[in-house]
Structure 1
Amino acid sequence: MPQGTPGRTLLPRFSYDESCPVLNYIFKRLLSAIPFMFLVSLTVFVLIQLPPGDFVTSWAAQAAAAGEEVTPAMMEEMRRRFGLDQPLIVQYFAWIGGVVQGNFGYSFEWNAPVATLLGERMGLTLVVTVSTLILSWCIALPVGIYSAVRRYSLLDYSFTFIAFVSLAVPGFLIALILMYMSVKLFNADVTGLFSPEYANAPWSWGRVKDLMAHMWIPVIILGTEASASLIRIMRANLIDQLHMPYVVTARAKGLTETKLLLKYPVRIALNPFVSTLGWTVPRLVSGAVIVSIVLNMPIAGPMLMQSLLSQDIYLSGAFLLLLCLMTVIGTLLSDILLVVLDPRIRVQ
């Protein structure tokens, strides 16, 4: 029994465990993410509603362009059925209340639940994103380290030239070139992420192999573009670290060059790699829209753009809200990894 003042009852009281600052830091960050996501959801919903008109207006314009007759009564009936005749604040709380319960609403354009569309597109988006991240790191790490250690060498100039070309050439142009080469040289159609027979099939080992056979072009395009900038960042940061006093001291103590390089300066120069985890998925979705359209990839970018154009508010709002949540979680993971990676950083 705990001892206390006589006549008083000791009530359990929540307190932070100071012996575990990382867990305290994670808990505080997760708590602060709740009001932040609420403000983001409100901002996203208001911004989507800012353009003039609504989904019914966009639908009526497309129907009129196709020669169909659209009457004002039909438009009012659609607004009433979709709930677009309600005030903005009523629409927002009806939507965010459903989101809290796991119901992201109904897509007007696709005539399907938003949760179903999110599951299909975001799963493939994460697969492409993780593959792109792994490829870009596998290229940028060794090339950046070599360019820093052997700077101004022939290979360093060659890597620099290739990196600048990769940054300058648009991704969709590289996609068109690779598509042409795959058809001409290998007689293979690599557009999309699946063959026609696997496009709507349930998941199986054959569908996974078909996905891998189609995914190499988008991963190469997006990974090459991402690794080009990371190579320059890694090279510059590592060059700065190689002339630090602790490197000179470790070398004077007889530490081998490989062990010295990997244990100290490379570990600190990795900070920019880890710090970019937070916005990897949003950057891929927003920056690879044209590449995704050219390659006909069923990922989040093209559907998000189409939902914004058609003012499909629940679908576009759910996409943007989910991307922001991934950014918050990714930033938290990158901050934790930075604490583990760099001994100079403390969560306090």
Structure 2
Amino acid sequence: MGSVSNFILRRLALSVVTIWVISVISYVIIQLPPGDFVSSYVAQLAQSGAIGSGDDLARLRADYGLDQPMFIRYAHWAWGVLRGNLGWSLDWGRPVADLIGERIGMTLLLSLTALALSWILALPIAVYCAANRGTPGDYFFATLGLTGVALPNFLLSLGVMYVGYRWFNLDFSEVHSPQYATAPPSLGKGLDLLWHLLTPALILGLATTARLIRVLRANLLDELEKPYIVTARAKGMRELNLILKYPLRVALNPFVSTIGMTLPQLVSGSIIVSLVMNLPTVGPLLLRALQAQDMFLASGILLILATLTVLGTLVSDLLLAWLDPRIRLAA
């Protein structure tokens, strides 16, 4: 029990340090390009023919704290984050926490649904392919997997939206049916939301599903060649039962370790999908923040993505330690 507690404490401490390092790197990188929000604002004024004076621009920089050195700006921002204040969006003129809070729920729901669908689809398909190596079904799923990896999800989104609207009169950009659009929260509204998110979640998770199938299939095939499996097969054990009882748990180690990378990939990958399908996630918000050089909003979103990455990795470590006690004893 003590080894388990020490393992968890070490991982938590490492997670905190990692989030801090990522916050510094992301904050600095966002401000590396020339110019700032005021420069972008001046460019907009120039396009409209209303150019502010030099004193106005200097006052704006002073009001937004852009006239201070970068390390001082980061210190103010980091201290605010520790108190739950992510700063003020220069572009929207609203608190960053409010802007992200309006969209983070939909973002996490879409990403977690895509992750769950990826696991639900990849696990049985990979087991089937490993148990039926070289059959037409194996080749079919291998081809489907390569297509899923190679096909950009935004192109698939366009195709699905066209087919749905052209032949089935379906609008995949809506997250609620008309009768639930203005209705108060309820079980029916929640189920309706999940139903509407099913299509974008499948689109978003297709490439992840294809990669997971390939990883788990390869791991299972490697385990099936080991002596203990050959011995069990020689004793007459059915192939499917043999896979489920022995090698599957061992093969799940690399499968589980991908959670830390998969979740943030789904969140960041939803940017283009959300733009194409007009979904209210943080993806379009991050894109606009980067274009406008809204450093506080962009830093806040990137900090959340980094936290998701670290939390996903932590979950992966804990699951791996549960699956294989040797990991937590050696860590």
TM-score tier (shorter): over 0.9
- Aligned partner of 1:131 in structure 2 is 113
Decide whether the 8 Å contact of 2:11 with 2:314 is kept in 1.
yes
Amino acid at match of 1:241: E
Is 1:147 the equivalent of 2:129?
Answer: yes
1:226-272 deviations in Å (ceiling 9; x for gaps)? 11111111111111111111212333455444332112111111122
Q: Matches of residues 21-60 of structure 1 in structure 2 within 5 Å? A: 21-60=3-42
Residue 289 of structure 1, CA deviation: 2.0
Is 1:241 the equivalent of 2:223?
Answer: yes
Q: Which has the larger radius of gyration?
A: 1
Residue 66 of structure 2 is aligned with which of 78, 84, 102? 84
- Aligned partner of 1:94 in structure 2 is 76
Q: Pick closer, same or farther for the CA change 1:106–1:182 going to 2, 3 Å.
A: same
Once structures 1 and 2 are overlaid, which stretch shifts more, 34-43 or 294-303?
34-43
Residue 201 of structure 1, CA deviation: 7.1
How far apart are the structure 2 equivalents of 1:161 and 1:314? 44
Amino acid at match of 2:80: G
Q: Matches of residues 1-348 of structure 1 in structure 2 within 5 Å? A: 19-194=1-176, 203-205=185-187, 207-252=189-234, 255-348=237-330
Decide whether the 8 Å contact of 1:175 with 1:217 is kept in 2.
no
Q: Pick closer, same or farther for the CA change 1:201–1:49 going to 2, 3 Å.
A: farther
Amino acid at match of 1:216: L
Q: Pick closer, same or farther for the CA change 1:203–1:311 going to 2, 3 Å.
A: farther
Residue 207 of structure 1, CA deviation: 4.0
Residue 324 of structure 1, CA deviation: 1.2
How far apart are the structure 2 equivalents of 1:177 and 1:346? 46
Once structures 1 and 2 are overlaid, which stretch shifts more, 291-300 or 203-212?
203-212
How far apart are the structure 1 equivalents of 2:152 and 2:290? 23
Q: Pick closer, same or farther for the CA change 1:201–1:60 going to 2, 3 Å.
A: farther
Q: Pick closer, same or farther for the CA change 1:247–1:344 going to 2, 3 Å.
A: farther
How far apart are the structure 1 equivalents of 2:63 and 2:185? 35
How far apart are the structure 2 equivalents of 1:200 and 1:309? 32
Q: Pick closer, same or farther for the CA change 1:194–1:142 going to 2, 3 Å.
A: same
Instruction: Give the 3-state SS of the residue equivalent to 2:328 in structure 1.
Output: coil
Normalized per residue, which structure has more helix?
2
Decide whether the 8 Å contact of 2:4 with 2:328 is kept in 1.
no
How far apart are the structure 2 equivalents of 1:198 and 1:112? 28
Decide whether the 8 Å contact of 2:96 with 2:296 is kept in 1.
yes
Instruction: Give the 3-state SS of the residue equivalent to 1:306 in structure 2.
Output: helix
Q: Pick closer, same or farther for the CA change 1:251–1:334 going to 2, 3 Å.
A: same
Unaligned runs of 5+ in 1: 1-18
Residue 200 of structure 1, CA deviation: 7.8
How far apart are the structure 2 equivalents of 1:136 and 1:104? 32
Residue 277 of structure 1, CA deviation: 1.1
Amino acid at match of 2:126: G
Q: Pick closer, same or farther for the CA change 1:336–1:57 going to 2, 3 Å.
A: same
- Aligned partner of 1:11 in structure 2 is none
1:279-323 deviations in Å (ceiling 9; x for gaps)? 223212323322221111111222112211211111111111121
Residue 209 of structure 1, CA deviation: 4.1
Instruction: Give the 3-state SS of the residue equivalent to 2:21 in structure 1.
Output: helix
Residue 31 of structure 1, CA deviation: 1.9
- How many residues end up aligned between the 2 structures? 330
How far apart are the structure 1 equivalents of 2:61 and 2:178? 36
1:124-173 deviations in Å (ceiling 9; x for gaps)? 11101111111111111111111111111111111111111122221111
Once structures 1 and 2 are overlaid, which stretch shifts more, 221-230 or 210-219?
210-219
Decide whether the 8 Å contact of 2:153 with 2:203 is kept in 1.
yes
TM-score, normalised to structure 1's length?
0.88
Decide whether the 8 Å contact of 2:212 with 2:255 is kept in 1.
yes
**Cα RMSD (Å):** 2.1
Amino acid at match of 2:25: T
How far apart are the structure 2 equivalents of 1:110 and 1:205? 33
How far apart are the structure 1 equivalents of 2:252 and 2:72? 47
TM-score, normalised to structure 2's length?
0.92
Decide whether the 8 Å contact of 1:281 with 1:323 is kept in 2.
no
